[in-house]
């Protein structure tokens, strides 16, 4: 069957389903009443799932289960599996995971009777998702592994990606981070192969965060750069903020503060543009911490001088453009300072002057420090 006739068929089914719903509403059917019998329960339920009308779909449970039982008895277990699956989807989307679970189990049994690997794969994946939603990750693991095997058997790479991602999430929830990373890498490869950008983005985010948190910034950096580029391409500002913040944290952990600074700045701007004030405040705190990491060659933390006037000694610069360590160094070169290197005005000491010269992005940092300390 070609894609276009498939679409037409789904369209007809949605129209049929919408007609049903309209009729139900017109007849002012209360929840105590049974829905009008459907001519084709399987088709109707598929259409309702496509239309995401979970409530109406669930209302057809009795009729759907009866039709599925008849199909199984009549030697069409695959079609029966489809009906159970549609009903289960409705309950899962209504948040009734325990009930969805029993229906997915029936779908799985029917697909197994039909030898339908794709059906088994999706039933197992959904069973695993039910367990995960009920907080039972250990029980979800073997089901996701079964789903993976089924998808591999039919060569469904998108399915392989989703199963690996589900395994990644389960292992992460169970604090098995090494396993989570391995599954994440497999999910990433599968999504990359089928060109699923959203899936790839989720895998990159997970892996990037895990590598960052486990002190492996060199592995995290290329993934985070990929994620930043993907978010920039789709105009996802919050995503750009997240990626820049994570990149900044990598460089911060590597003690490359000059590289962390502009990234945190970009993160802050992106969060601001996205209206995410909590994240903006978090990055501001990172910037404050970062500022205390700028040290001169003697290891003393340096800050910019004050902006309330005064002179910059021999540098002839305004003190708010000079970095000071605040120590009594007696290294005044203009003859009018008290010998202290700052902290607000006067000659900087040799170490602090050296720091200033080494930093090419002086102006950028000056602006930064002004925002932080004034
Ligand atoms: Zn100094
Ligand atoms: Zn001086």
What ligand is nearest to the CA atom of residue 332?
Answer: 2
For residue 282, how far is its CA from the centre of ligand 2 (angstroms)?
39
For residue 173, how far is its CA from the centre of ligand 1 (angstroms)?
49
For residue 268, how far is its CA from the centre of ligand 1 (angstroms)?
30
For residue 369, how far is its CA from the centre of ligand 1 (angstroms)?
16
Q: What is 3-210's CATH number?
A: 1.25.40.10
Instruction: List Cα–Cα distances, 135 to 41, 129, 130, 165, in angstroms.
Output: 32, 10, 9, 17
Asked if the domains at 3-210 and 211-293 fall in one CATH topology, the answer is yes
What ligand is nearest to the CA atom of residue 315?
Answer: 2
**Sequential pLDDT tens for the chain (374 residues):** 344 445 555 555 555 555 555 555 555 444 445 556 667 888 999 999 999 999 999 999 999 999 999 999 999 999 999 999 999 999 999 999 999 999 999 999 999 999 999 999 999 999 999 999 889 999 999 999 999 999 999 999 999 999 999 999 999 999 999 999 999 999 999 999 999 989 999 999 999 999 988 888 889 999 999 999 989 988 999 999 999 999 999 998 888 888 898 899 999 999 999 999 999 999 999 998 888 888 899 999 888 787 777 899 999 988 988 889 999 999 999 999 999 998 889 999 999 999 888 765 555 555 565 555 44
Instruction: Spell out the domain ranges in the chain.
Output: 3-210, 211-293, 303-373
The values of phi and psi at residue 340, to 5°, are -90, 140
What ligand is nearest to the CA atom of residue 302?
Answer: 1
Bond before 170 cis per omega within 30 degrees: no
At residue 259, the pLDDT reads 86
Number of H helices, E strands in the chain: 17, 2
What ligand is nearest to the CA atom of residue 299?
Answer: 1
What ligand is nearest to the CA atom of residue 338?
Answer: 2
For residue 335, how far is its CA from the centre of ligand 2 (angstroms)?
5
- In the 8-state DSSP scheme, what is residue 314? G
For residue 312, how far is its CA from the centre of ligand 2 (angstroms)?
7
For residue 348, how far is its CA from the centre of ligand 1 (angstroms)?
5
At residue 365, the pLDDT reads 55
The values of phi and psi at residue 60, to 5°, are -95, 15
- Count of C-beta atoms within a 10 Å radius of residue 221: 18
Which superfamily does CATH assign the domain made up of 211-293 to? Tetratricopeptide repeat domain (1.25.40.10)
For residue 201, how far is its CA from the centre of ligand 2 (angstroms)?
55
If residue 303 lies in a helix (H) or strand (E), which one and from where to where? strand 303-304
Alpha-carbon Rg for the chain, nearest whole angstrom, is: 31
For residue 353, how far is its CA from the centre of ligand 1 (angstroms)?
7
Cα separation, 95 vs 58, in Å, equals 12
At residue 343, the pLDDT reads 85
Q: Going by C-beta distance under 8 Å and a sequence separation of 6 or more, which residues neighbour residue 305?
A: 312, 319, 320, 321, 322, 323, 324, 342, 343, 344, 345
For residue 17, how far is its CA from the centre of ligand 2 (angstroms)?
85
For residue 347, how far is its CA from the centre of ligand 1 (angstroms)?
9
Burial of 145 (0-12, 13-18, 19+ CB in 10 A): middle
């Amino acid at each position: 069957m070609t894609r276009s006739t498939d679409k037409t068929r789904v369209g007809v089914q949605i129209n049929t389903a919408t007609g049903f719903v309209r009729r139900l509403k017109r007849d002012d059917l209360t929840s105590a009443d049974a829905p009008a019998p459907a001519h084709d329960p399987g088709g109707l339920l598929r259409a309702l799932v496509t239309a995401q009308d979970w409530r109406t779909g669930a209302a057809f449970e009795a009729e759907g289960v009866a039709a599925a039982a008849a199909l199984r008895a009549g030697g069409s277990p695959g079609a029966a599996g489809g009906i159970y699956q549609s009903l289960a989807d409705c309950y899962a989307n209504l948040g009734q995971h325990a009930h969805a679970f029993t229906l997915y189990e029936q779908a799985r049994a029917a697909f197994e009777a039909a030898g339908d690997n794709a059906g088994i794969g999706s039933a197992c994946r959904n069973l695993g998702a039910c367990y995960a939603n009920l907080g039972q990750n250990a029980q979800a693991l073997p089901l996701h592994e079964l789903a993976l095997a089924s998808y591999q058997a039919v060569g469904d790479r998108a399915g392989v990606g989703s199963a690996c991602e589900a395994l990644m999430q389960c292992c992460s929830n169970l604090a098995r981070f090494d396993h989570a990373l391995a599954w994440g890498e497999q999910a990433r490869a599968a999504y990359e192969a089928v060109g699923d950008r959203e899936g790839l983005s989720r895998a990159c985010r997970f892996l990037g965060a895990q590598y960052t948190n486990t002190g492996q910034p060199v592995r995290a950096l290329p993934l985070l750069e990929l994620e930043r580029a993907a978010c920039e391409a789709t105009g996802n500002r919050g995503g750009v903020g997240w990626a820049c913040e994570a990149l900044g944290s990598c460089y911060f952990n590597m003690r490359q503060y000059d590289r962390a600074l502009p990234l945190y700045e970009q993160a802050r701007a992106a969060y601001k543009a996205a209206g995410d004030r909590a994240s903006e405040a978090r990055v501001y705190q990172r910037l404050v911490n970062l500022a205390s990491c700028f040290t001169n060659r003697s290891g003393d933390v340096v800050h910019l001088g004050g902006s309330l006037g005064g002179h910059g000694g021999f540098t002839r610069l305004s003190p708010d453009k000079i970095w000071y360590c605040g120590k009594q160094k007696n290294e005044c070169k203009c003859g009018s300072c008290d010998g202290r290197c700052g902290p607000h005005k006067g000659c900087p000491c040799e170490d602090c002057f050296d720091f200033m010269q080494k930093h090419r992005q002086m102006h950028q940092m000056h602006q930064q420090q002004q925002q932080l300390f004034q």
